[in-house]
Amino acid sequence: MVDPAPTVTELNAGDSSRASHVWRVDPPGGPPMILRRAWWTAPEVSAFMLGLNRLFGVDPRDLDRTAAAYARWREIGAWAVPETLGLVAFRGAPALGVTFVPGDPARALHDADAADLGRRVARVHGHASATFGDVTGRGGRPLADFYPEALRVVRELAAHFGPGPWAEHWPAVEAAFAAAPTPTHAAPMLLDWDGAQFVWRDGQPFALVDTESSALAPPELDLCLWELLLTPPGAAQFRTGYAELRPFPALGPHRAACRLLLRALEVEGAPPLPEWLGRPAPFDA
């Protein structure tokens, strides 16, 4: 008797806003699992992917490193993280298997308990590193090189994906990076925090299930991203929760350079630079 074939459901396959194809596989009589592999063949597919690769050495096509990133986030312990199940031959190419985590539909991060998010991010930032780069720490580079390298990558991304919006702003851009102080340490972060990267339960992020776009970066960069994702009341609650566990860093000296890097990566689209830099800074309120 031939065993029945598993049921395969494509989740975000080919979605250019995500790094990977993702499938849910339901074997007959067995537990479901998730399979994932990068859908793109070269980092030049987007500003985000190219910047992630050039600045942090991250390449979601490397499934062994992706598995190591999952393991690192499990060690950190800020959220539940699925176990990896090794490489699986699937539709003509390797894919990384991870355990399936059941939960509720994803929500926006600003719907979560912001104080709890702040506490969890503070715990992540407690895993300090003396280098920046891949979240596993392999091939890390000195923190003194972070802002000079970030400026180089911003220039590369602008040249590749459209120099027009940057053309008249280069003196100010260079001044912002020159003024940013050398970071004191790096910590794990995701360059694309989003509610869809989590499995949610009871209205809160429960399990971090998408770790591919993670890196070791200055906490100031991470917090400059978080303040763009939260409402002003949420930002105040996040900061309060964070400060329960760690001193909240001064973002002012870093904010312009960090926002310029995030804009080059197009983490929130491609708004005009003055509008992007002029967005409120609720963590300073």
Structural domains of the chain in order of their starting residue, each with its CATH number: 7-99 (3.30.200), 109-284 (3.90.1200.10)
Residues 243, 115 contacting (CB under 8 angstroms)? no
What pLDDT was estimated at residue 4?
63
Alpha helices in 197-251 (DSSP H): 219-229, 232-243
Q: Is the pLDDT of residue 188 over 50?
A: yes
Q: Is 200 helix (H, G, I), strand (E, B) or coil?
A: strand
Structure confidence by residue, pLDDT tens digits, 205-230: 999 999 999 999 999 999 999 999 99
In angstroms, the CA 273 to CA 254 distance is: 16
Task: Enter the pTM of the model.
Answer: 0.94
* Average model confidence (pLDDT) across the chain: 93
Q: Is 159 exposed, middle or buried (0-12, 13-18, 19+ CB in 10 A)?
A: exposed
* Helices assigned H by DSSP within 100-206: 114-125, 146-161, 170-179
Segment 111-133 shows an average pLDDT of: 98
Q: What percent of the chain has pLDDT over 90?
A: 85
Which DSSP category does 129 fall into? Answer: B
Q: Please tell me the predicted confidence (pLDDT) of residue 7.
A: 86
Which amino acid belongs to residue 134?
Answer: D
Overall average pLDDT of the 135-146 stretch: 95
Neighbours of 160 (CB within 10 A): 12
